Structure 1
Amino acid sequence: MQKDSKQWFVIINPTSGNGKAKQKWPEIKRLLHHYKFDFEFAFTEYSKHSVSLVQKALKNSFKHIICVGGDGTLHNTINGIMNQSEIPSSAINIGVIPIGTGNDWIKTHAIANHIESAIKIISEGYIAYQDLGKIEFENSNKPSVYFNNLAGIGFDGYVVSKVERYKKWGALAYLFGALSGIFSFNNFESKVTINSKEISGKTLMILVGLCKYSGGGMRLTDSPNPFDGLLDISIAQNLNKFEIITNLPRLFNGKITKHKKVKTLKTDALKIEVDENKLPFIQADGELIGTGNFKVSILAKAFSFYRKKNPDLF
């Protein structure tokens, strides 16, 4: 049976926001009814459960999805959409009620970090289409991973591996993760290939951005635009531990991209290779996704979502 176009499927990650999503669900449910949403819902029960939940919803002909959770919940929902063939991704619209640790993606699009305001944005019905990044692992049977905000390899992945223990501190968890990782992370040998150009050497981290903010408000790429069909690249080369510590404030104001050891550029595709016995972590939207060599490409306007119609934004 075809679902009415006004029917919604709501995915709630009860652990998001250090358990706040579960705590606030009764209020969210009441407000959804108040704003006349006709919906079914499900709670995630394990890591990446939102992937299978959204795919089941699509098989039942839902095309309007609401994510209640943080950046990881949205990331996994998008991957559920992109790794299915029931419905074209451009025909599936996502609304976000942000309750997470960093809530970084919403900052680029001025989506309110307030329950009722976020629900109002969805109810107003304005849809935007932004680019997605696609990660393909080399010499591996792993499926492709899609990201909507920022991906990277190296120190940022190491920080993500530390964040879980600090999540009770909210967005500060990423700063604490960075501070705890400075003295135990070692720079790695990498080679980045963009078109025919190669950039190689000892590296702190390589970042591939679409949107402005990550890691609880850090600004790690120079001029990201989620609508321009390009990936915004930062290659932080062989910064030593003293340089990392003295430049921590510049991670938040965007000035880190002006450091003499940081190369920035824009492209629609690149390849990253690592030459180390102990491979550094790769993260996408704050989720650890693996290790090894990989390629990244852009999928223009592949992700449709609800936001305010605001001429001051992109």
Structure 2
Amino acid sequence: MKTLFIINPVAGRKRSAKVWKDIRPYINFPYEYEFTQGCGDATQIAKHAKKLGYEVIVTVGGDGTISEVVNGIAGSDIRLGIIPAGTGNDFGKTLKIPENPCYALEIIKEGKNLTFTDLGKFQDGYFINIAGAGFDAEVANMTNSNLKFLNGTLAYVASLVWNLARYSPCNAVITVDGKKYFRKPWLVLAANARYFGGGMMINPDGIINDGLLDVCIINDMSRAEILRFLPSVFTGSHKKHRCFEVIRGKNVEIEFAKPVRVQVDGDAKGFTPVRFSIVNRALSVITPVKD
């Protein structure tokens, strides 16, 4: 099996470089490897690997690295392997890939179980986890821009608290498969997977290959109630809250009364209005359990 490892040496606050050094002696099959040098490199490396006939690409990095690689191989027959080495590793959580890199490598060595996952579509690219607009996009933007000295969940929570004092929900029109919903939400998410923000299980009932986006909406509530609501997101128990709802569909449009920030897989991507869609079973991933 022609295999390429793509390593993002700065992922996980440079943890991935150490992970690669630790696992490399245990790779007992033929392989090649390449390090990324900057943003977008993993996509270009993956596209080139596709042309060269690689059958398996293994990412050593975080969700950002996976997302870039996926944008280079989506819709092809290439199998994706994942060695979690980022700050959040949310995509791997949905697929039950062990966070221990050595255990994850053993799953890739076996290579017998494949899960065919959906991908979200945004403009001319794909997303693996969750995209959305509103409060969470402001939090993600601040986390990535100003809090790089903090790790994963801690950075996300710090940004969340800061933005909570400054952000206010406004009216929005959410269109799912042609049907309009009028809401005043804190945020609207188009979810493919279950987790985001470094372990927050925002979409606990999500199925990653059902051909649908789960539109998760946190409707208007007080700031005090938001603070009580947020801890429940880590366990998924928030789904019972009166201000949380999920609408499922294939095509989603989000427009707020005034433009609000958009995030795609945790990266800022401009402002609303925005459209998302789903591509069914567009990616094959080596996982612990067969699809």
TM-score bracket for the superposition, by shorter chain length: over 0.9
Which of 21, 34, 41 matches 1:42?
34
Deviations 1:158-203 (A, max 9, x none): 1111223155333332222212221122323321112342112432
> What SS does the corresponding residue of 1:100 show, helix, strand or coil?
coil
The answer as to whether partners of 2:137 and 2:263 remain within 8 angstroms in 1 is yes
Deviations 1:221-242 (A, max 9, x none): 2521012111111112223322
> What SS does the corresponding residue of 2:143 show, helix, strand or coil?
helix
Paired residues, what number?
A: 288
Which of 169, 172, 175 matches 1:193?
175
1:77-226 alignment runs, 5 A limit: 77-82=69-74, 89-125=75-111, 126-136=113-123, 144-164=124-144, 165-166=147-148, 168-226=150-208
RMSD over aligned CA atoms reads 1.8
Letter in 2 for 1:275: A
Give the drift of 1:23.
2.5
| Unmatched segments (≥5 aa) in structure 1 | 1-5, 83-88, 137-143
Q: 1:111 to 1:152 in 2, by over 3 A?
A: same
Deviations 1:203-223 (A, max 9, x none): 210011122211121122252
Tell me the distance in 1 between the aligned counterparts of 2:66 and 2:202.
21
Partner of 1:248: 230
The answer as to whether partners of 1:75 and 1:147 remain within 8 angstroms in 2 is yes
The answer as to whether partners of 2:194 and 2:201 remain within 8 angstroms in 1 is yes
Share of identical aligned residues, percent?
Answer: 31
Give the drift of 1:297.
1.6
Partner of 2:277: 297
**Normalising by the residue count of structure 2, what TM-score does the alignment of the two structures yield?**
0.92
Q: 1:215 to 1:306 in 2, by over 3 A?
A: same
1:13 and 2:5 equivalent?
no
1:307 and 2:252 equivalent?
no
Give the drift of 1:42.
1.3
Which of 55, 60, 66 matches 2:47?
55
Q: 1:272 to 1:170 in 2, by over 3 A?
A: closer
> What SS does the corresponding residue of 1:113 show, helix, strand or coil?
coil
Letter in 2 for 1:12: I
